[in-house]
Amino acid sequence: MVRPAFLLFLLLTLAGARAQTPDASPSVAPPASPSPAATSDASSVTPATTSTTPRVTFSHVNVDGPYIAMTFDDGPSAANTPRLLDLAAKDHIKLTFFLIGENAARYPKLVQRELAEGHEVGNHSYTHPDLAKMSDDAVRSEIQKTQDAIIAASGYKPVLMRPPYGALTPRQRQWVARDFGFKIILWEVDPLDWKNPGPSVVASRIIAATRPGYIILSHDIHSQTVDAMPVVFDTLLAKGYKFVTVSELLAMDKGPVAKPSPNGSKVSDPAAPVMALANP
């Protein structure tokens, strides 16, 4: 009788031990944590967390009409700017000039004439360096000296800035826009006129690439560029385009617009495109 009792005791002991052992975890992988990119994408569409960083860089805007902004860099030029102003006056069109501070100081009467005839002037640095490779203090000096030169020449304080070569880092764009109250202006159309390909080539490149809302880059320090302008102006006017200053164009902005992507889908395009390599 001892043996059966012992066996019964052993069975009862094993059963009690099993009852106190936790069940095994189910063989299901835990939910994956969202990646940082996914977290960012998700939060970006939540109204409470949407970024409020203002857009400060422009190469085009979404407009309800055939409006364009023709811009000229590196002047004023004693040899070429007066002739360009005569052409603009003849066709009753408005232009925007991004001035080198040294030239504004050298030719104050041309700065005055540009403004008196309804055009806009902007800041293009004092000596045309690559600002993206400079310290913040050096960038600030280049910009402020140009502001001072234009104000001394005309009494006008520019609200637009175009960096030489289009070169400003994203961080620089933000603080330059904030500290100086600028819009940073790039371009959609670059005829590479600084390479002096000839007036007909400059004209054909501008005419072929221009679309409503575009900002067009040229240089009034090159005689070939000014030689191209009668054809550019006459052809674009005949196509129904209306020339306005950059500030006037920005004021017409209807906001982001869906734009075809390389793969054929539509993407929102609120920011400026990648800059062309150029020598503006």
Per-residue pLDDT of the chain (280 residues; tens, 9 = 90+): 445 554 444 444 444 444 443 333 333 333 333 332 222 222 223 333 345 678 999 999 999 999 999 999 999 999 999 999 999 999 999 999 999 999 999 999 999 999 999 999 999 999 999 999 999 999 999 999 999 999 999 999 999 999 999 999 999 999 999 999 999 999 999 999 999 999 999 999 999 999 999 999 999 999 999 999 999 999 999 999 999 999 999 999 998 865 544 454 443 443 333 333 344 5
What is residue 18's predicted lDDT score, i.e. its pLDDT?
Answer: 42
CA distance 58 to 215: 8
Beta-ladder partners of 267: 259
Q: Which helix (H) or strand (E) holds 126?
A: none
Full-model pTM: 0.76
Q: Which of 119, 124, 219, 222 is catalytic?
A: 219
- Cis check for the bond before 82: say yes or no (omega within 30 of 0): no
What is residue 7's predicted lDDT score, i.e. its pLDDT?
Answer: 47
Tokens found for residue 145: 């000296």
What is residue 54's predicted lDDT score, i.e. its pLDDT?
Answer: 82
DSSP 22: P
Nearest CA among 278, 97, 112, 67 for reference residue 192: 278
What is residue 258's predicted lDDT score, i.e. its pLDDT?
Answer: 55
Count Cβ atoms below 10 Å from residue 44 Cβ, excluding itself. Answer: 10
123 touches 143 (CB < 8 A) = yes
What is residue 51's predicted lDDT score, i.e. its pLDDT?
Answer: 52
219 is catalytic: yes
| Ranges of H-type helices in 119-267 | 136-154, 170-180, 199-209, 223-238, 246-251
Q: Which of 73, 74, 190, 193 is catalytic?
A: 73
Beta-ladder partners of 57: 184
Nearest CA among 218, 214, 215 for reference residue 229: 218
